[in-house]
């Protein structure tokens, strides 16, 4: 079995401390004892245990990698390293389970996903979240199909597909926001943008996950607008 490790410290002051080393050693020991191939370890640096998945860059990067490469197991040192607050723990566990991802507690050896799936209420939450993720994708595909049909009825034929700006302006706004250079620091790379979009559940006009290639094509199509945004910074 292949797996990813996920480790977290809650403050920048702990990044250079013993926390990361201890967590990684615990995960490696568990993997060795259980003949698990640890592919990568994602380090969440200075992120509070009360923060949900939307504000965890390493967590988003890990989910994006999982959706692309087939690894379906994540190992943490303990549930407190996933999140300290119970409400956030439960939210993250349901989120992972809804995507078919197994979470294992290296400290206890417990398959946490299996345990929460045995709870009828939590199992229902997992199913509901999975349904809404699929619904969001289907609604986007349907929206595109209806738009093309309306165009075909209007002009007698469909003059090619709608642009992203025409079909999903809210997605274009999100891409522009991700591409915008922050006041301090550097602009996000294509891969970082791809990881965030995929972790947020966004899809291309074809209903497919984002890659650097298709995102590059979209940004090229918006280049003029994006340059204006960059100059206004």
The answer to whether the pTM exceeds 0.75 is no
User: Across the chain, which distance is largest between two alpha carbons, in Å?
Assistant: 67
Q: Is the pLDDT of residue 140 over 50?
A: yes
Question: pLDDT at position 130, please?
Answer: 46
Task: Tell me what the mean pLDDT of segment 221-230 comes to.
Answer: 52
Q: How confident is the model at residue 17 (pLDDT cuts 50, 70, 90)?
A: low
Taken in order 160, 166, 167, 171, the sign of the CA dihedral is: positive
Which residues fall within 8 angstroms of residue 203, CB to CB, at 6 or more apart? 137, 140, 209, 210
Task: Tell me what the mean pLDDT of segment 196-200 comes to.
Answer: 88
Q: DSSP code of 163? A: P
CA-nearest of 87, 83, 96 to 9 is 83
Which one is predicted more confidently, 155 or 25?
25
Which residues fall within 8 angstroms of residue 179, CB to CB, at 6 or more apart? 187, 188, 193, 219, 226, 229
Q: Is the pLDDT of residue 3 over 80?
A: yes
Least confident of 3-17, 95-109, 158-172: 158-172
SS3 83: coil
Q: Which domains does the chain have, with CATH numbers?
A: 2-118 (3.40.50.1390), 163-233 (no CATH)
Question: pLDDT at position 124, please?
Answer: 60
Q: What is the 3-state secondary structure (H, E, C) of 92-149?
A: HHHHHHHCCCEEEECCCCCEHHHHHHCCHHHHHHHHHHHHHHHHHHHHHHHHHHHHHH
List pLDDT tens digits, range 51-84. 666 778 888 889 888 888 778 999 999 888 888 7
List pLDDT tens digits, range 162-183. 677 777 888 888 888 888 887 7
Question: pLDDT at position 102, please?
Answer: 92
Give the DSSP H/E element, type plus range, for residue 175. helix 169-179
């Amino acid at each position: 079995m292949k797996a990813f490790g996920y480790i977290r410290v809650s403050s920048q002051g702990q990044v250079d401390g013993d926390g990361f080393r201890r967590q990684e050693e615990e995960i490696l020991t568990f993997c060795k004892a259980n003949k698990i191939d640890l592919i990568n370890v994602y380090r969440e640096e200075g992120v509070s245990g009360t923060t949900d998945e939307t504000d965890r860059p390493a967590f988003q990067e890990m989910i994006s990698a999982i959706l692309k490469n087939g690894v379906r197991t994540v190992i943490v040192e303990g549930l407190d390293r996933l999140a300290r607050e119970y409400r956030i723990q439960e939210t993250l566990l349901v989120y992972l389970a809804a995507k078919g991802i197994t979470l294992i507690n290296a400290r206890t050896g417990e398959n946490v996903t299996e345990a929460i799936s045995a709870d009828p209420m939590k199992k229902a939450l997992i199913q509901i979240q999975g349904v809404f993720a699929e619904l969001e994708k289907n609604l986007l595909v349907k929206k595109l199909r209806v738009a093309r049909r309306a165009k075909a009825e209007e002009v007698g034929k469909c003059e090619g597909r709608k642009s992203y700006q025409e079909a999903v302006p809210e997605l274009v706004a999100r891409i522009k926001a991700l591409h915008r250079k922050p006041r301090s620091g550097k602009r996000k790379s294509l891969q970082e943008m791809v990881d965030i979009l995929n972790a947020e559940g966004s899809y291309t006009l074809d209903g497919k996950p984002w890659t650097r290639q298709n995102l590059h094509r979209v940004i090229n199509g918006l280049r003029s607008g994006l340059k204006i945004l960059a100059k206004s910074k």
